[in-house]
Structure 1
């Protein structure tokens, strides 16, 4: 599975977990739709869940006039994936790739303003981390 596909499937799994408190393994299995399991998909979903408090604190610190709870579920979980990659996978995935992927996925799954919003928040997070 390509990493872009793994990110999209991770977004779908985290969305499901966020709105219905599904177990991570069940959410991953559901989004795979019978496909073979993917290590990067599992790493993203389980990594976000494992570090959720730290990731959410980083996001909250860089939101202006928004609360994490008020964000669209897609935007919130896309930010979580990207912040996880920036903070915990920076040796494996360049920051530019993380931002570009998040922006492109936001264009597919978010609303008209999602990609700009995601870009703004992630740029601030990136400056804070690096």
Structure 2
């Protein structure tokens, strides 16, 4: 599967965890139930994204609270929040993926699964997170 599709699966699992109170493992298993073309590597990648996002949730939500202007996290659409949480996790911890790619993917997922306005909203929030991602990536390289 393409990375875009795998990110979509991760967003679905993160959403399911938030709304359905599933465990990360249950949510990942559920999003792959009818996906016969998924490989073990696909499942492992999505599990890493979902489990990493869940593990870093206090940090991620703290970062989002500081950068979401005029919104409380509990007022953001659950789909948009799942997309933002995944993107922030990737920005902070998935350094093999380029920052611009992560942001572009998040905006596309918001447009695909939410609304056109959500794409702009997600882009605006991530534009305020990206400087932190660049700082952390630079510090890790030094």
Structure 2 length-normalised TM:
0.87
Matched, 1:31 2:36: no
Question: Is the 1:3–1:40 contact (alpha carbons within 8 Å) kept by the matching residues of 2?
Answer: no
Q: Give RMSD over aligned pairs.
A: 1.1
Aligned positions of 1:1-130 closer than 5 A: 1-35=1-35, 36=38, 37=40, 38-90=43-95, 92-130=96-134
For residues 94 and 31 of structure 1, the distance between their equivalents in structure 2, rounded to whole angstroms, comes to 26
Which runs of 5 or more structure 2 residues have no equivalent in the other structure? 135-142
For the residues of structure 1 that align with 2:129 and 2:51, how far apart are their CA atoms?
Answer: 21
Structure 1 gaps of 5+ residues are none
| Matched pairs, number | 129
Deviation of 1:128 after TM superposition, in Å, equals 2.9
Q: CA deviation at 1:129?
A: 3.0
Instruction: Using the TM superposition, give the Cα deviation of residue 34 of structure 1 relative to its aligned residue in structure 2, in angstroms.
Output: 4.1
Structure 1 moving runs of 4+ over 2 Å: 34-37
Give 1 or 2 for the bigger CA radius of gyration: 2
